[in-house]
Amino acid sequence: MNILSKITLTLVSLCWAIPASAVDSYRYMHVNIETPWAIFVFLFGLVFAPMILAVILYWRYAMKKDDDDDDHA
């Protein structure tokens, strides 16, 4: 490749990269002060939902086990 084609390729790629850089900017993603809270609430539910389910299931089967023990006595 000669020097002119390298310069042309460089300029074309630079012109194409400027709009593509907006994809990674905060302005494009509409990040505001409420975004960290939304992430926190989402992760909070994601972490505690299995724990709440485990407590409910443990409580349900513990009550059922007590009923079975009363029937045999």
What residue spans define the domains of the chain? 1-30, 32-73
The pLDDT assigned to 8 comes to 86
The pLDDT assigned to 22 comes to 57
The pLDDT assigned to 71 comes to 59
Task: List the chain residues with pLDDT less than 50.
Answer: none
The pLDDT assigned to 62 comes to 86
Report yes or no on whether pTM surpasses 0.85: no
The pLDDT assigned to 65 comes to 72
**What's the helix, strand, coil split of the chain in %, to 5?**
90, 0, 10
Query: Within a 13 Å sphere around the CA of 73, how many CA atoms are in the beta-carbon half?
Result: 6
Both tokens of 33, joined, read 């002060």
